[in-house]
């Protein structure tokens, strides 16, 4: 870790009396990542708060270590629980950057996997697969989505067990080399931790991702559109509001991801609508999602099923 | 004797941290890291046994150290282990760095065989003393 | 290119019939074509022209184009039996040399058909054949050449190349180490082999015959080869490493050279050596022999300073380096910058790039006037030799990189504890410096400290550093690039 200006000259002089933690935050550019998180992600207030707390802890830990105060490598493995589309993967990416900027991981990349990437199909297949992934993740963050699929209660000889054992070992022995984030639905993760206490004890931070409210989803929709130089017409916005309310009640609802998918389909209809009508198209037309683009969704059918 | 193949054999045996620094250099260059081992260190023995496939996609030397540890556990002090960096870019497509990271405790070295040739010529051959024993049985203490 | 902005203006058109008998200015004969755009397939040469007092620089440059291609001093009607417009070399640009009044760079384009494929002798006969003695010029120097890919492809290129040389030697990731056996002359074969054995066992990869070691009364060549190979094989067994000794096969005739080369091969040598003075044709012959026989071919540039060193007259070494990469040698002495022989740092960088890169972009600061594609010709290993020692290791690696042979002759054999100790000192210094560089240290700044630390575990290195710590050769270079970096105005 590079020393910054407040670093102590080795041993000789006494530690300086005061330390400017805020400057530390600025110098490591962690503040930039936190700001970016605030700007880019709608809502998620409790999550953002937890991240700031963790960042504060790590900065203090870093300063303490530099001052020669006793401290061992902190455990940084985390669990992110919440329904699909609540921003777990997105936040994990930012977390990797924060850990990198603070020097807790050397590279700062994120390797995102599921059971199939870790667990093999036959004897002797799992260990090399898991090791291969671990090797790729070294120096960064390993994000295991729906981690509970690693464990199959009903089958003692499931190959997932082998992956779990290797993971546990690395999480314990190579804490300076990588950080593991386990993610998935809250209840199933709870169940998983209960059956695998080894994991629970190695996880330092649990962060819960709440579902988004309707107004939050609306805001997310607008920011997603803006990022692609689209906007809603007034009628379009009203239509989308009712879309959100309807979609939430249907199966496989996945928060912000459902919004992203709905907008993709709305853009498709928008484009085709202009092909079906004659006459020239204005720049504004090209940017504006209107009510018909939304209302044609099957979400509004009497027998709802969304692909 | 001490076999001086590779680019760091004249330095004291590298510590793990030192090996790690060189492995990271290789990774940062965008080269693949390769581990090989042998108990036949003849200078013309090109093909040492590969310890698994070359590591093409790792970002951090910790990954290399995992494999090196495993290789040491399996072949430890009865084999030579070398670590190399392979550059696949056009015009090279070859090894760019190679050094020994493990060697047997004792190295008996090589016998220089001479055969009288015509005139005053000698026909030379180099033979590892250890190679008198079958593969896998060499360098046993 | 703003550096060339001060172009001379074209002169008026010829006044009489082009082919009427008599004498005519070269520029009026078609050798000056300021509007000519060189074709991708043209060979281009840039000359440094110093006209006699009163001679117009454009006429002088046109004369160089004429005399190095189709012209003679008078008009000949037989030109009209040929596609003479095509065959005439065209001087298309004449620029004053920065800070050198009365001296000009003349750029001349040559049609590809003027040259025999794959022959340096033919190329040299045209480009530097007659023209250097031409009376209207005070002096003339061939500065640089650009070869089209089509022409490059007619040459074999380095017989082995850096990549395969390293694979064959099983040596990667660091410069190779060599030493020239000293004293240059007088050792018997038996004593000569002793030096080779000590140096190789101590840690060098190569030893080297000197350029003038051939077959003299004190040591005939077969004797030398036999003792050297005894030493090489013994050192190989003592270290487990591949070792080599450049056996100089330079001789009076091709037949003698082939005989020596064959003997070296029969004895199992990995490398043979020739001198530049054997001539371009002999060099190309030996390069072909080396390719056929899996042999590394080392070239000592003996004699080059007679025509490369003075800036106003001769042939620049960068041209020789290009010719030698085409001709097909594997090693070429290309300067050390810090050692005892001529070598400006920027010019030397240019030579090294010519040897090792597949593409050289124009780089006036390094003396490279043109973009040059090498069309995947093998890379040529540069050799740094002459007055260098272990204490300069950080500077050498920083300047020259790792694909180079560092030759410490005196710096090995002159070690107070003996030759093997000298070799060990160099090898330890080298490995410690490469290790430190790879580990991310700033070797140029921390070099002396890195060496000192390495010397703690290596007494021979400690002694080497103490012995040569104050040796340096700081003299002004005579051959430097003419262009210094300047802020160029927007065009
Ligand atoms: N708060 C938010 N603001 C804006 N976009 C979001 C937000 N949360 C999630 N998204 C977007 O929704 C999609 C799914 O998010 P993701 O992080 O993969 O969720 P999870 O991992 O919880 O399933 C991504 O395209 C992401 O950019
Ligand atoms: Mg996700």
Of A209, A225, A259, which residue sits at a domain end? A209
Q: Which residue of A has its CA nearest to B57?
A: A136
Of A160, A193, A209, which residue sits at a domain end? A209
Residue A188 has pLDDT above 50, yes or no: yes
**Which one from C138, C153, C171, C182 is the annotated catalytic residue?**
C182
**Mutation site, B23, B32, B53, B58, interface A, largest A CB count within 10 A:** B58
A186 with A226, same domain: the answer is no
What sign does the dihedral C472-C475-C478-C480 (CA atoms) show? positive
A159 with A94, same domain: the answer is yes
Residues contacting A223, CB < 8 A, separation 6+:
A42
| DSSP 8-state class, residue C172 | -
| DSSP 8-state class, residue C488 | P
Name the domain count of chain A.
2
Q: The pTM is what?
A: 0.86
Q: Residue C98 has which token pair?
A: 């920065």
Residues contacting C418, CB < 8 A, separation 6+:
C198
Q: Which residue of C has its CA nearest to B91?
A: C376
The predicted pLDDT at position C25 comes to 83
Q: Are C423 and C199 in contact (CB under 8 A)?
A: yes
Of C59, C52, C68, nearest to C139 (Cα)? C52
A155 with A284, same domain: the answer is no
Segments in chain B below pLDDT 70: 141
A200 with A111, same domain: the answer is yes
C198 SS3 class: helix
Pairing mode of beta strands C405-407, C381-385: parallel
Q: Tell how far the Cα of B5 is from the centroid of ligand 1, in angstroms.
A: 53
Instruction: Give, using CA atoms, the residue closest to atom 24 of ligand 1.
Output: A257
A238 with A253, same domain: the answer is yes
CB pairs under 8 A between A and B: 37
CB contact under 8 A, B124 and C358: no
Q: Residue C418 has which token pair?
A: 């003996």
What's the rounded Cα separation, in Å, for the pair C279 and C299? 11
B24 SS3 class: helix
A174 φ/ψ angles, rounded to the nearest 5 degrees: -125, 50
Q: Give yes or no for residue A85 CB within 6 A of ligand 1.
A: yes
A238 with A162, same domain: the answer is no
Helix (H) or strand (E) holding C179: strand C176-180
Catalytic, C331? Answer no
Give the CATH number for residue A286: 1.10.8.60
Q: Which residue of C has its CA nearest to B95?
A: C172
Q: Are C44 and C146 in contact (CB under 8 A)?
A: yes
Q: Tell how far the Cα of C424 is from the centroid of ligand 1, in angstroms.
A: 61
Give A190 to chain B, closest Cα distance, Å. Answer: 31
Cβ count near C230 (within 10 Å): 20
| DSSP 8-state class, residue C147 | -
Which C positions 425-444 lie with beta carbon below 8 A of chain B?
427-428, 431-432, 434-435, 438-440
C421 SS3 class: helix
Q: Are C242 and C204 in contact (CB under 8 A)?
A: no
C44 φ/ψ angles, rounded to the nearest 5 degrees: -120, 140
Segments making up each domain of chain B, as ranges:
16-105
Residues contacting C275, CB < 8 A, separation 6+:
C211, C248, C250, C299, C300, C302, C303
A252 with A266, same domain: the answer is yes
Burial class for A165, CB neighbours closer than 10 Å (0-12, 13-18, 19+): middle
What's the rounded Cα separation, in Å, for the pair B2 and B108? 8
A172 with A233, same domain: the answer is no
What's the rounded Cα separation, in Å, for the pair C34 and C93? 6
Among A106, A107, A135, the residue with its CB nearest the CB of B66 is A135
| DSSP 8-state class, residue C82 | T
Give the CATH number for residue A48: 3.40.50.300
Q: For residue C167, list chain B residues with Cβ-Cβ distance below 8 A.
A: 94-95
Helix (H) or strand (E) holding C49: strand C43-51
CB contact under 8 A, C170 and B121: no
Q: For residue A104, list chain B residues with Cβ-Cβ distance below 8 A.
A: none
Q: Tell how far the Cα of B50 is from the centroid of ligand 2, in angstroms.
A: 37
Q: For residue B67, list chain A residues with Cβ-Cβ distance below 8 A.
A: 135
3-state secondary structure chain A: CCCCCCCCCCCCCCCCCCCCHHHHHHHCCHHHHHHHHHHHCCCCHHHHHHHHHHHHHHHHHHHHHHCCCCCCCCCCCEEEEECCCCCHHHHHHHHHHHHHHCCCCCCCCEEEECHHHHCCCCCCCHHHHHHHHHHHHCCCEEEEECHHHHCCCCCCCCCHHHHHHHHHHHHHHCCCCCEEEEEECHHHHHHHHHHCHHHHHHCCEEEEECCCCHHHHHHHHHHHHHHCCCEECHHHHHHHHHHHHHHHCCCCCCHHHHHHHHHHHHHHHHHHHHHHCCCCCCHHHHHEECHHHHHCCHHHCCCCCCC
Segments in chain C below pLDDT 50: 1-15, 486-491
Question: pLDDT tens digits, residue range C390-430?
Answer: 999 999 999 999 999 999 988 899 899 999 999 999 999 99
The answer to whether B73 faces chain C, any CB pair under 8 Å, is: no
Q: Residue C367, by phi and psi: left (phi above 0), alpha (psi -120 to 50) or beta?
A: left
Instruction: Give, using CA atoms, the residue closest to atom 11 of ligand 1.
Output: A256
Q: For residue C226, list chain B residues with Cβ-Cβ distance below 8 A.
A: 120-121
Confidence of residue A9 (pLDDT cuts 50, 70, 90): very low
The answer to whether B43 faces chain C, any CB pair under 8 Å, is: yes
What's the rounded Cα separation, in Å, for the pair C231 and C223? 12
Of A209, A227, A262, which residue sits at a domain end? A209
Q: Give yes or no for residue A89 CB within 6 A of ligand 1.
A: yes
On the CB side of C324, CA atoms within 13 Å amount to 34
Q: Give me the residues near ligand 2 (ion), CB cutoff below 5 Å.
A: A 89
**Mutation site, B10, B34, B92, B109, interface C, largest C CB count within 10 A:** B10
What's the rounded Cα separation, in Å, for the pair C52 and C38? 28
What sign does the dihedral C195-C201-C203-C206 (CA atoms) show? positive
Bridge partners, residue C272, by sequence: C247, C297
Q: Are A107 and A100 in contact (CB under 8 A)?
A: yes
Q: Which residue of B has its CA nearest to A110?
A: B59
What's the rounded Cα separation, in Å, for the pair B46 and C40? 43
Confidence of residue A140 (pLDDT cuts 50, 70, 90): very high
Instruction: Give, using CA atoms, the residue closest to atom 3 of ligand 1.
Output: A41
The answer to whether B7 faces chain C, any CB pair under 8 Å, is: yes
Of C244, C199, C420, nearest to B43 (Cα)? C244
Distance of CA C52 to CAs A271, C7, C102, Å? 77, 20, 9
A87 with A205, same domain: the answer is yes
Cβ count near A123 (within 10 Å): 10
Confidence of residue A30 (pLDDT cuts 50, 70, 90): confident
Of B2, B47, B12, B4, nearest to C243 (Cα)? B4
Question: pLDDT tens digits, residue range A71-123?
Answer: 777 889 999 999 999 999 999 999 999 999 888 999 999 999 999 999 999 99
Catalytic, C182? Answer yes
A239 with A288, same domain: the answer is yes
Q: Give yes or no for residue A43 CB within 6 A of ligand 1.
A: yes
Q: What is the CA radius of gyration of chain B?
A: 17
Q: For residue C422, list chain B residues with Cβ-Cβ distance below 8 A.
A: none
Q: In B9-98, where does DSSP find H-type helix?
A: 16-28, 61-75
A197 with A109, same domain: the answer is yes
What's the rounded Cα separation, in Å, for the pair C111 and C161? 30
C187 SS3 class: coil
Q: Residue C336 has which token pair?
A: 């050390």
Q: Residue C44 has which token pair?
A: 């281009």
Ligand closest in space to the Cα of A87: 1
Chain A residues whose C-beta is within 8 A of a chain B C-beta are 106-107, 109, 131, 134-136, 138-140, 174, 176-178
* CA dihedral of residues A15, A19, A23, A25 (deg, nearest 10): 90
CB contact under 8 A, C242 and B84: no
B62 SS3 class: helix
CB contact under 8 A, A138 and B57: no
A24 with A79, same domain: the answer is yes
Q: Which residues of C131-158 are buried (b: 16+ CB within 10 A; e: fewer)?
A: bbebebbbbbbbbbbbbbeebbeebbbb
Q: Are C179 and C407 in contact (CB under 8 A)?
A: yes
Q: What is the CA radius of gyration of chain C?
A: 25
> CATH for B16-105?
3.30.190.10
What's the rounded Cα separation, in Å, for the pair C297 and C165? 10
Length of chain B measured in residues: 141
Q: Give yes or no for residue A256 CB within 6 A of ligand 1.
A: yes
CB contact under 8 A, A136 and B66: no
CB pairs under 8 A between B and C: 107
Q: Residue A223 has which token pair?
A: 């920011």
Range of the domain at A129: 4-209
The predicted pLDDT at position C157 comes to 97
C434 SS3 class: helix
The predicted pLDDT at position A108 comes to 92
Distance of CA C108 to CAs C96, C153, C287, C322, C408, Å? 15, 22, 30, 17, 41
């Amino acid at each position: 870790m590079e020393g910054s200006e407040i670093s102590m000259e080795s041993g000789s002089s006494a530690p300086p009396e005061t330390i400017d933690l805020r400057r530390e935050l600025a110098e490591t550019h962690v503040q930039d990542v936190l700001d970016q998180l605030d700007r880019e992600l709608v809502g998620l207030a409790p999550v953002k708060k937890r991240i700031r707390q963790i960042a504060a802890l790590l900065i203090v830990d870093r300063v303490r270590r530099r001052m020669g105060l006793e401290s061992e490598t902190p455990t940084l493995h985390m669990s992110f629980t919440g329904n699909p589309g609540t921003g777990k993967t997105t936040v994990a990416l930012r977390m990797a950057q924060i850990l990198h900027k603070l020097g807790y991981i050397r590279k700062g990349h994120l390797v995102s996997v599921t059971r199939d990437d870790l667990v093999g199909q036959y004897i002797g297949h799992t260990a090399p697969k898991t090791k291969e992934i671990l090797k790729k993740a070294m120096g960064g963050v390993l994000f295991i989505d729906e981690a509970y699929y690693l464990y199959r209660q009903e089958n003692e000889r499931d190959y997932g067990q082998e992956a779990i054992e290797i993971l546990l070992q690395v999480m314990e022995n190579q804490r300076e080399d990588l950080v593991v984030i386990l993610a998935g639905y809250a209840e199933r993760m709870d169940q998983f931790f209960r059956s695998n206490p080894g994991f629970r004890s190695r996880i330092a931070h649990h962060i819960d991702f709440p579902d988004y409210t309707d107004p939050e989803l609306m805001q997310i929709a607008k920011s997603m559109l803006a990022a692609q130089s689209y906007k809603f017409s007034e009628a379009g916005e009203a239509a989308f509001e009712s879309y959100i309310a309807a979609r939430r009640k249907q199966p496989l609802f996945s928060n912000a991801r459902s919004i992203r998918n709905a907008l993709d389909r709305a853009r498709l209809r928008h484009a085709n609508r202009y092909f079906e009508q004659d006459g020239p198209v204005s720049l504004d037309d090209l940017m504006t999602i209107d009510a018909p683009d939304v209302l044609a969704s099957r979400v509004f059918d009497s027998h709802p099923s969304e692909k | 004797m001490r076999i001086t193949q590779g680019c760091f054999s004249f330095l004291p045996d590298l510590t793990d941290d030192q090996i790690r620094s060189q492995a990271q250099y290789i990774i940062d260059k965008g080269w693949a890291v390769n581990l090989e081992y042998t108990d036949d260190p003849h200078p013309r023995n090109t093909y040492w046994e590969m310890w698994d496939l070359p590591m093409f996609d790792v970002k951090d030397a910790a990954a290399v150290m995992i494999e090196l540890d495993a290789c040491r556990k399996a072949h430890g002090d009865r084999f030579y282990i070398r670590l190399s960096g392979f550059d696949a870019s056009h015009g090279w497509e070859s090894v760019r760095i190679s050094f020994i990271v493990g060697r047997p405790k004792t190295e008996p070295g090589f016998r220089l065989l001479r055969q009288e040739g015509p005139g005053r010529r000698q026909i030379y051959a180099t033979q590892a003393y250890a190679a008198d024993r079958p593969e896998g049985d060499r360098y046993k203490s | 290119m703003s550096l060339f902005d001060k172009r001379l203006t074209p002169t008026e058109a010829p006044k009489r019939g082009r082919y009427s008998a008599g004498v005519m200015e070269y520029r009026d004969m078609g050798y000056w074509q300021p509007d000519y755009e060189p074709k991708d397939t043209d060979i281009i040469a840039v000359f440094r022209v110093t006209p006699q007092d009163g001679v117009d620089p454009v006429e002088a440059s046109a004369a160089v184009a004429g005399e190095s291609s189709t012209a003679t001093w008078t008009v000949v009607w037989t030109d009209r039996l040929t596609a003479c417009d095509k065959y005439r070399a065209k001087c298309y640009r004449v620029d004053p040399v920065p800070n050198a009044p009365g001296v000009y760079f003349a750029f001349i384009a040559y049609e590809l058909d003027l040259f025999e494929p794959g022959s340096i002798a033919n190329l040299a006969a045209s480009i530097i054949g007659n023209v250097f003695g031409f009376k209207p010029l005070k002096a003339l120097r061939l500065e640089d050449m650009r070869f089209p890919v089509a022409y490059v492809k007619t040459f074999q290129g380095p017989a082995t190349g850096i990549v395969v040389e390293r694979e064959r030697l099983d040596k990667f990731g660091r410069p190779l180490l060599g030493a020239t056996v000293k004293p240059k002359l007088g050792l018997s074969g038996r004593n000569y082999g002793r030096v080779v054995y000590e140096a190789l066992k101590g840690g060098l990869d190569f030893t080297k015959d000197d350029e003038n070691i051939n077959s003299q009364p004190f040591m005939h060549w077969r004797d030398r080869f036999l003792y050297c190979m005894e030493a090489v094989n013994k050192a190989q067994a003592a270290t487990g490493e591949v070792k080599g000794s450049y056996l100089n096969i330079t001789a009076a005739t091709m037949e003698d050279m082939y005989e020596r080369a064959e003997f070296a091969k029969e004895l199992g040598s990995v490398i043979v050596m020739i001198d530049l003075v054997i001539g371009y044709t002999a060099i190309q012959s030996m390069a072909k022999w080396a390719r056929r026989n899996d042999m590394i071919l080392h070239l000592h540039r003996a004699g080059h300073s007679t025509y490369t060193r003075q800036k106003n007259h001769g042939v620049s070494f960068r041209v020789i380096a290009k010719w030698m990469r085409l001709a097909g040698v594997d090693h070429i002495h290309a300067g050390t910058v810090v050692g005892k022989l001529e070598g400006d740092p920027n010019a030397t960088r240019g030579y090294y790039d010519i040897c090792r890169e597949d593409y050289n972009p124009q780089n006036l600061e390094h003396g490279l006037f043109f973009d040059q594609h090498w069309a995947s010709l093998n890379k040529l290993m540069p050799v740094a030799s002459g007055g260098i020692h272990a204490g300069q290791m950080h500077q050498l690696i920083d300047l020259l990189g790792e694909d180079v042979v560092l030759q410490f002759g005196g710096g090995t054999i002159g070690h107070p504890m003996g030759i093997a100790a000298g070799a060990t000192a160099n090898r330890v210094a080298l490995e410690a410096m490469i290790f430190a560089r790879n580990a991310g240290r700033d070797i140029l700044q921390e070099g002396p400290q890195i060496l000192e630390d390495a010397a703690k575990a290596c007494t021979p290195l400690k002694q080497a550093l103490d012995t040569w710590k104050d040796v340096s050769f700081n003299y002004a270079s005579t051959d430097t690039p003419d262009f210094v970096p300047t802020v160029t105005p927007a065009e």
